[in-house]
Structure formats: C-alpha cells, structure tokens
Structure 1
Amino acid sequence: MVCRMFRIEAEVDKARRDLLRSRLRDTNTAASPVLAALRGTPGERDLPLHVWALDSSGDLAGGLVGHTWASWLHITYLWVDAVHRGTGLGSRLLAEAEDLARTTRGCTASRLETWDFQAPDFYKKKGYRVVGVIPDYPPGITEYTLTKRLA
C-alpha cells in the first residue's frame, strides 16, 4: 500500500530522529556486508570522546568533542581560548584524543571538517591530509575534510 498523504513538519523531535537513525542504520546494514559485519561489535557503537583543558581557575581553556565509530575517531569540535592559543594546547588536546581513540577504542583513523579561516594548516602539520573540499560552504568560505591514519 502506497501512502499518498503526507504532513511535512519542521521541528526538533528526538524520538523521531532516533527512529529514523535506527531505520537508516538497518537499511544500510542490510545493503553493506561491511556494516553488517560491524553490527553488534564494540566498534559499531557510536561513543562520545571528549578531552577538556581547564586553566588554574578551573575555567575552560580549550576542549575537543568527538566520537568514535567503526574504528574511526570523528572530531566534531576543537577549540582553544584566545589567551591559550600558540601555547601548544590545541596540539595536546588533539594528541590526547587520538591516543585515547587508538589505545582504548581501537581506532585506526581520524577525520574532521574545518573551514579555510580556521585550522586546515594546523591539521596538515599534525599529519592530516585533505580528502575533500567544498567551496562556498557557506558562501565565501571553503570547507575541508581531512583524515589521518592513527595506527
């Protein structure tokens, strides 16, 4: 039976989001032997990985937010407060996250996205290589996707 009646909604609905994600995961797993082999293994789990740096007052000096999945570390955010930039703190946060991902989660690679005005050169110096470029995303800015082998 084909449903021809649709109601379009534009609202945040976490339960529907989780249902959609679950159904997409099931569809992808059925279509891909690689994803099917991962199903139910520790590597399949999407686990958060956060690294925080606090200054002597206990205030946030910097941090890295990411997650691990399927032997990959995905870095979502890496930020260092302006007063701590140039001190090596960003390098320390990145190295700690990569080390945790490799040693405690079995990750063999890392990926991230960054804009041209942010830190593509920083990541390249840390061994990352550009694997994707999206010009004008958003308009006037270029987004880069970079990866690195951790093993």
Structure 2
Amino acid sequence: MGGKLLLPAEEEARRRGCDRACVSSFTFQAPVFYQRHGYVETGRTLGIPGGAQDVRMCKKLDRSPVRESASSPR
C-alpha cells in the first residue's frame, strides 16, 4: 500500500521540476521500506528517546519528461 502512495508523490515531484525526494523515518518505522524504493541514507540523528534514531534519506528523481496536455499552461 505504501508504494501505491509513494510512486504518485514522486511523479508529482518530477512534474513540479524536483530533482530529488527526501524523507525522514525513525528506525522503528520504515527506513527499510524507503531503501527498497531507492532511497539512500544521508544522515542519522542518535539519541531519540527509547533508543531510536532518526534516519534521513534521499532519492534522485530521474528527469524523464512528464506528459502535459496541449492546454496545460507552462
């Protein structure tokens, strides 16, 4: 289910001209999910209460053109 939400969000980011997507996830949440979708760890904050860590990850978005209709404003 998460992938069905993530992929359209990445496509919208591309449409808006973004060249990367960045997320933050605690170690007890979903860093492995993001890694499976091509995200790479860029930083980590230690010392979160309960022994968790905050993992920051980014993914380079390809620059493939997004189709626009002929009536779309530029």
Unaligned runs of 5+ in 1: 1-88
TM-score, scaled to structure 1? 0.40
* Structure 2 residue aligned with 1:137: 48
Q: Single out whichever of 91-100 and 132-141 deviates more from structure 2.
A: 132-141
The whole-number CA distance in structure 2 between the counterparts of 1:138 and 1:92 is 31
Q: Aligned runs of 1:98-137 on 2, under 5 Å?
A: 98-103=10-15, 105-137=16-48
Unaligned runs of 5+ in 2: 63-74
* Structure 1 residue aligned with 2:57: 146
Looking at both structures, which has the greater relative contact order when contacts are Cα pairs under 8 Å and sequence separation is at least 6?
2
Structure number with higher helix proportion? 1
- Structure 1 consecutive aligned stretches of length 4 or more whose deviation exceeds 3 Å: none
Supply the AA of the counterpart residue of 2:25: T
Cα shift at 1:138 = 3.2
Same amino acid, percent of matched pairs: 37
Q: Aligned runs of 1:1-151 on 2, under 5 Å?
A: 89-103=1-15, 105-151=16-62
Specify the structure having the higher radius of gyration (Cα). 1
RMSD over equivalenced CA pairs, Å: 1.0
TM-score, scaled to structure 2? 0.78
